[in-house]
Amino acid sequence: MPRPQPALRIVPPENSTENPAPATFNLDSLFRRYAPYVAAVAHRLLGRDDDVDDTVQEVFLVAVRGIHAVRDPAAVKAWLARIAVRVARRKLQKRRLRAFFVL
Protein backbone atom coordinates (compact mmCIF):
# COMPACT_ATOMS: atom_id res chain seq x y z
CA MET A 1 0.00 0.00 0.00
CA PRO A 2 1.54 3.36 -0.99
CA ARG A 3 2.27 5.90 1.70
CA PRO A 4 0.30 9.13 1.62
CA GLN A 5 2.34 12.14 0.57
CA PRO A 6 2.76 14.92 3.11
CA ALA A 7 0.61 17.92 2.34
CA LEU A 8 1.73 21.51 2.64
CA ARG A 9 -0.95 23.99 3.61
CA ILE A 10 -0.96 27.69 2.98
CA VAL A 11 -2.82 29.34 5.82
CA PRO A 12 -4.29 32.85 5.64
CA PRO A 13 -2.96 35.44 8.11
CA GLU A 14 -4.45 35.37 11.59
CA ASN A 15 -5.74 38.93 11.49
CA SER A 16 -7.44 38.49 8.12
CA THR A 17 -11.18 39.17 8.00
CA GLU A 18 -11.58 36.98 4.96
CA ASN A 19 -11.91 33.26 5.42
CA PRO A 20 -10.78 31.67 2.15
CA ALA A 21 -10.29 27.94 1.96
CA PRO A 22 -6.56 27.24 2.43
CA ALA A 23 -4.77 25.92 -0.61
CA THR A 24 -3.18 22.53 -0.09
CA PHE A 25 -0.07 21.52 -1.99
CA ASN A 26 1.20 18.02 -2.28
CA LEU A 27 4.97 18.14 -1.75
CA ASP A 28 5.55 16.03 -4.84
CA SER A 29 3.44 18.26 -7.08
CA LEU A 30 5.03 21.39 -5.64
CA PHE A 31 8.49 19.98 -6.37
CA ARG A 32 7.58 18.84 -9.88
CA ARG A 33 6.02 22.19 -10.71
CA TYR A 34 8.71 24.53 -9.40
CA ALA A 35 11.96 22.52 -9.38
CA PRO A 36 12.90 23.46 -12.97
CA TYR A 37 12.36 27.14 -12.18
CA VAL A 38 14.40 26.92 -8.97
CA ALA A 39 17.13 25.04 -10.87
CA ALA A 40 17.23 27.79 -13.52
CA VAL A 41 17.60 30.47 -10.85
CA ALA A 42 20.34 28.49 -9.12
CA HIS A 43 22.19 27.84 -12.36
CA ARG A 44 22.05 31.49 -13.30
CA LEU A 45 23.54 32.53 -9.96
CA LEU A 46 26.03 29.71 -9.41
CA GLY A 47 27.12 29.03 -12.97
CA ARG A 48 27.94 25.39 -12.22
CA ASP A 49 25.84 22.35 -12.88
CA ASP A 50 27.32 20.39 -9.98
CA ASP A 51 25.95 22.82 -7.36
CA VAL A 52 22.48 23.17 -8.85
CA ASP A 53 21.01 19.85 -7.68
CA ASP A 54 22.18 20.40 -4.11
CA THR A 55 20.78 23.92 -4.17
CA VAL A 56 17.37 22.76 -5.39
CA GLN A 57 17.20 20.18 -2.62
CA GLU A 58 18.19 22.74 0.01
CA VAL A 59 15.57 25.18 -1.28
CA PHE A 60 12.79 22.64 -0.92
CA LEU A 61 13.99 21.59 2.53
CA VAL A 62 13.74 25.21 3.63
CA ALA A 63 10.37 25.48 1.89
CA VAL A 64 8.94 22.50 3.74
CA ARG A 65 9.86 24.11 7.04
CA GLY A 66 8.50 27.53 6.15
CA ILE A 67 5.49 26.95 3.91
CA HIS A 68 3.20 28.03 6.74
CA ALA A 69 4.50 31.60 6.35
CA VAL A 70 3.18 31.95 2.79
CA ARG A 71 -0.11 33.77 2.85
CA ASP A 72 -0.87 33.95 -0.87
CA PRO A 73 -0.80 30.77 -2.98
CA ALA A 74 0.10 32.87 -6.02
CA ALA A 75 3.30 33.99 -4.27
CA VAL A 76 4.81 30.52 -3.92
CA LYS A 77 6.95 30.83 -7.05
CA ALA A 78 8.47 34.15 -5.99
CA TRP A 79 8.94 32.86 -2.45
CA LEU A 80 10.86 29.83 -3.74
CA ALA A 81 12.99 32.09 -5.94
CA ARG A 82 13.87 34.23 -2.93
CA ILE A 83 14.91 31.13 -1.00
CA ALA A 84 16.97 29.96 -4.00
CA VAL A 85 18.79 33.29 -4.14
CA ARG A 86 19.61 33.13 -0.43
CA VAL A 87 20.88 29.55 -0.63
CA ALA A 88 22.96 30.37 -3.73
CA ARG A 89 24.48 33.42 -2.04
CA ARG A 90 25.54 31.28 0.91
CA LYS A 91 27.16 28.81 -1.46
CA LEU A 92 28.98 31.61 -3.27
CA GLN A 93 30.26 33.00 0.03
CA LYS A 94 31.57 29.57 1.00
CA ARG A 95 33.20 29.23 -2.41
CA ARG A 96 34.96 32.59 -2.01
CA LEU A 97 36.18 31.70 1.47
CA ARG A 98 37.58 28.39 0.25
CA ALA A 99 39.36 30.13 -2.62
CA PHE A 100 40.80 32.73 -0.26
CA PHE A 101 42.17 30.21 2.20
CA VAL A 102 43.59 27.96 -0.50
CA LEU A 103 45.72 30.89 -1.68
pLDDT in tens, 53-81: 999 999 999 998 888 778 888 889 999 99
The pTM score is 0.71
The predicted structure's pLDDT at residue 19: 40
Buried b (16+ CB within 10 A) or exposed e, 32-44: eebbeebbebbbe
The CATH code for residues 24-102 is: 1.10.1740.10
Q: How far is CA 58 from CA 16, 17, 46, 92, 101, in A?
A: 31, 35, 14, 14, 25
The predicted structure's pLDDT at residue 24: 58
Domain limits of the chain?
A: 24-102
DSSP strand pairing (7-10 vs 23-26): antiparallel
pLDDT in tens, 13-65: 555 554 443 455 667 778 899 999 999 999 999 987 788 999 999 999 999 88
Residue 101 in this model has a pLDDT that exceeds 90: no
